Structure 1
């Protein structure tokens, strides 16, 4: 998942109503910098990467306020320029604006996601509405829009380069979609709605992080953890010690999804049921961390926003500038998978119940049991499990000899560890990336381990964006939530974790290989149903024989993963797809149901609406619940993916179809990698998405390769 917390420049295109004066930030050569002044100028470190050795929590509030003030002044200057509008004094000036705000917000967003604390959360809650107000007053600035519209109306006569025409068109369309043509009264309503939504989205994220931490399962005695490895038991003991619990207690922290990793190994059914229940109800306890009331408010506000802007519902508004274009196209795409998925789910549930009975169980399989018994079934069918695979997946080896190796084979990139650059947490590692000609290309930060003050999931974002206009090279980071080993234990990851590493690095490549003049169309500044394409596509190289052989080596002996184990993994590739894909499609359809509500029709009961929506999906949700329940669906209530979670499936279609093109044209070659780099990775949003895709493959995408890869056809 790409990070979307940091507001892109394209989102911050206008002026805020005047704020209280912010004192000038003093800078002298003889005294320490005033709070916030660290962000007044670009960092002097390589690639302008943030100097975390000097950044303090107390810097963020004043720096954000000063950044907003500066951005406001710059926008006012553009809007009130007495000269006739030109591309340079209007559009290019917008692209250059807000540099201090971008610097501080990039770091602040990274820390509130990956290493937050009460101080940062408080600043986030205070400043999020200010940033939204800034964005609104840019979008709704009549004078600024008049200048952009004047250029847009005469665009054919302006002799613009293709990227300039694209930036102009996107800015005009964005302002129209965000209310530039509304009446003054409706603009005021829209500002109010956006401010409320910003506050609610920030509060949702904070409540969910707290609720996920508080809902961690506490058990007494090792017997409750039977089935977990020694390393996992040690990690559970350390988690309990970190929380200052008495000896003999163990803690299993929750990850953000419905299923929890330990459910595949826990032999004790009572522990499985308790762990699943903790995750399922983490945000539904009626206390401080219950998110349901704010979800209802968000749904109602989004529907009203869509009505104001002339759309029948929020999904229609959100998808109008995506590759899919309409929610009907998104639902049609998802529904192509439902019949085969539902049939496979019922078939798999029956097979698991048969296994339960054969092993003496006197119960029907539930979602809490599914992973455990499907693991036994996989072992029975294919004779392997994660415990056999993990010794061959030491995390640094996976990263350097797998993820980086593939990038070298395809794009000619080389990676060198940097130990001289400060980081925001000891878990973080930094690499310098050089291009195929040896030139400096980017910096890459890697933050893999779960922490209580880190939000769930995995994501990518930038500390510094690529921009020819600004002369900046990308500084990119990947953040994940893998189970950290206890001290002295090897840093082993699961097969799924390794796959996530390849996925998130696909986002990193999209950022690092960007080659655009204007920051608003560079890197991952693309539609939700396109931005996941490079990341999902990059997953394919994990099992490429030359790549797998280079990193899948035993952490103790260095022996390669046995060919028979590799064969078992390949044979099992489509095993349990009824669950793996079904839980995602259920969540995607649930998201679209929530955001297809017309104004004035928001339900009163979150759970009742969710149950009805899931029942209408046609999927076997009794056995395969959605990957994210409404109450902890961070993607759509606090993560920017409202009405866009379908994008993961849509981009998976692009991924498999593009991989089929690679296979049909010689596979993993430098020539094919260069074509993918030239037509997709370097392009950002420099062209229409469908056009970019056809430039790669020569055809429109087909769902057939995806269905085959998933074992559904």
Structure 2
């Protein structure tokens, strides 16, 4: 399970109306054809004046495939650039709304798809800098812009003239000749307008604007404080002896971090974006383990990085918004466009797994308790002990040494000899590294992507952790593909792999490797986009579908023919030994009570927060509500904390995954079932790759999600492959289900 956050989630549903820069490339649909198809021809000339942009984003970038000109913008200029772009976007949409001609696809929906190009060019670049290279100037600009963008969204969606034009087309849709993608575009627009308040009365719309503007400010505030809290949660360790269990390289890095932060002669260990910290599995000193985990779990609860007040207000405002719409919960309001649109169905999907998962946690806890007692200890297993003793048992049962395995995963080799090889065998892609494209940080690499020899995309790769980058991993677009606008995709993958000590190679853990394949699955979803309209292109899909292509591609990381290409010792070049590969495979279902338990706990915690009756007062005691919710969920959260606790649950307070974190488990079900189809039908072949692209990877949101899955597998999704993979029911390689526990 990996974090993914598409940067445009900050724009709420603005992607439905924001198009990207026009270009001479690729075929476009003629306006006359669209007008004829609509049956509502234009009747008068209409040529409104739109303010001209003055920044470098006024026109499409002159760089290859319109790559952003990061070297042409000073930090202090971003706010003014985007404020100007907002004004232009609003003028463009106002002109569409005031068109005196009868509404048709061309002069309304297609016009909206063409609008917002200046804004999209600027904000897509700025968003990546906010996430991956923030500083005080950028942070201040982000905070100032957030409410302005929210107000822009509302001005568009609550424009009565504009909605009446969309509604007129929607009401006349049965009489119109439309392509399937036209029909989907119309459906998405209409749903989004209604969802954003177009049918509310004037008084309710006024309140809604205030709510949305305030929520956007709170989201930015929470996000920045989570980043600050993660940096502040690093613990100081006085002696090298207390770091026993860590490698020499890790200890050197800890000393370097301490020096950088003013603690010369000491050591510092940082926390991750999640509750767990990888080094907990290595540290012999129990007191250091406790300090480290508690620093992670208790962050963001007070001080300058405290998020509780902002979260309290966010929940109350979300509930009030649901009340305005007459919805029983925020989850009902939020899930309107999902593959799973009923909150109770999402809750039941996860809750049905809890009894088996709780039993697995109890069994695993008993095994770990026995193992620590075997070493002569008499303490009770605690949350900070679980990863440590699980790693001991893992090594004893599977001969799996994570530090040894890490030596075979040099980051650039994983990318170029592993991921790119997989993409070539499946899809006919090749990659050429470039040195002429400006980047926002020296860590970033850029590649031209070729399909059967023809250039189709640009791919940016930013793998390393740094203080200026928020936690997690994500994919986003600098340029969205669109035949209407003649644009090819420019995509980026961002991760947080721990940096090496000075002079040491950049090595990845197995979890990092899986994340690289995961994020590249998102990139492929963008690279193979083949849509007319930008708002239906590539990854512009529902939360509980967008994670499917990414999780699906994780499966290829451990495929032997791929693994042997990239898993080579960074010093000797030796291919990873078979015994280590077998250990990785055997350990794949190991420790599910912890690995799956933390995900389900976080997913159900999200639904608890967003299933509150909006007619009741919102909780004021955030941590008290969380404790009661975890008790109701029924998992061993005392030993296995949720993957994210409420104060640093960035997904649901900034990334747009509120009432949507279940999507990771839902799409895990989809990908396990879909990959079983790959295994049953020839595996990693070009024929299979073409089928993947033709049925879902290249389809964006041009079809329903259910139809795309059926097009690929020929059936509806099944939950059994997920349960087998997670060790919750017996499978062919799992007699009695025993391999699912420690």
Q: TM-score, normalised by structure 2?
A: 0.92
Q: How does 1:77-116 map to 2 (within 5 A)?
A: 77-116=95-134
Match of 1:468 among 480, 483, 492: 483
Match of 1:587 among 590, 593, 602: 602
Contact 2:338 2:544 in 1 (8 A): yes
Q: How does 1:175-214 map to 2 (within 5 A)?
A: 175-214=193-232
The residue aligned with 2:284 is 267
Separation in structure 2 between the aligned mates of residue 550 and residue 8 of structure 1, nearest angstrom: 40
Match of 2:394 among 359, 378, 388: 378
Separation in structure 1 between the aligned mates of residue 197 and residue 59 of structure 2, nearest angstrom: 33
Q: How does 1:248-647 map to 2 (within 5 A)?
A: 248-284=265-301, 286-436=302-452, 438-599=453-614, 600-647=616-663
How far 1:10 moved relative to its partner?
Answer: 4.9
How far 1:601 moved relative to its partner?
Answer: 3.0
Cα deviation code 1:237-289 (max 9, x no counterpart) = 1111222322x1111122110000111111111111111111111111x2121
Separation in structure 2 between the aligned mates of residue 356 and residue 411 of structure 1, nearest angstrom: 49
Match of 1:158 among 159, 164, 176: 176
Separation in structure 2 between the aligned mates of residue 147 and residue 13 of structure 1, nearest angstrom: 16
Cα deviation code 1:164-206 (max 9, x no counterpart) = 1110111011101111000000001111111111010000001
Separation in structure 1 between the aligned mates of residue 16 and residue 364 of structure 2, nearest angstrom: 51
Match of 1:129 among 139, 147, 153: 147
Match of 1:235 among 234, 238, 253: 253
The residue aligned with 1:688 is 704
- C-alpha RMSD of matched pairs (Å): 1.4
How far 1:310 moved relative to its partner?
Answer: 2.2
The residue aligned with 1:18 is none
How far 1:2 moved relative to its partner?
Answer: 3.4
How far 1:336 moved relative to its partner?
Answer: 2.4
Separation in structure 2 between the aligned mates of residue 244 and residue 425 of structure 1, nearest angstrom: 24
How far 1:5 moved relative to its partner?
Answer: 3.0
Q: Which runs of 5+ in 2 are unaligned?
A: 19-49, 730-742
How far 1:13 moved relative to its partner?
Answer: 6.4
Asked whether 1:704 is paired with 2:720, we answer: yes
SS of 1:288's partner is helix
The residue aligned with 1:29 is none
SS of 1:478's partner is strand
Q: Which runs of 5+ in 1 are unaligned?
A: 16-21, 27-36
Separation in structure 2 between the aligned mates of residue 14 and residue 467 of structure 1, nearest angstrom: 13
SS of 1:524's partner is coil
Match of 2:5 among 3, 6, 29: 3
SS of 1:339's partner is helix
Q: TM-score, normalised by structure 1?
A: 0.96
Contact 2:17 2:116 in 1 (8 A): no
Contact 2:246 2:279 in 1 (8 A): yes
Contact 2:4 2:472 in 1 (8 A): no
Aligned length: 694
Contact 1:12 1:138 in 2 (8 A): no
The residue aligned with 2:33 is none
Contact 1:459 1:479 in 2 (8 A): yes
SS of 1:354's partner is helix
Cα deviation code 1:462-486 (max 9, x no counterpart) = 1111111111111111111110001
Cα deviation code 1:500-546 (max 9, x no counterpart) = 00011100000111000100000110000000000000000011110
Contact 1:264 1:373 in 2 (8 A): yes
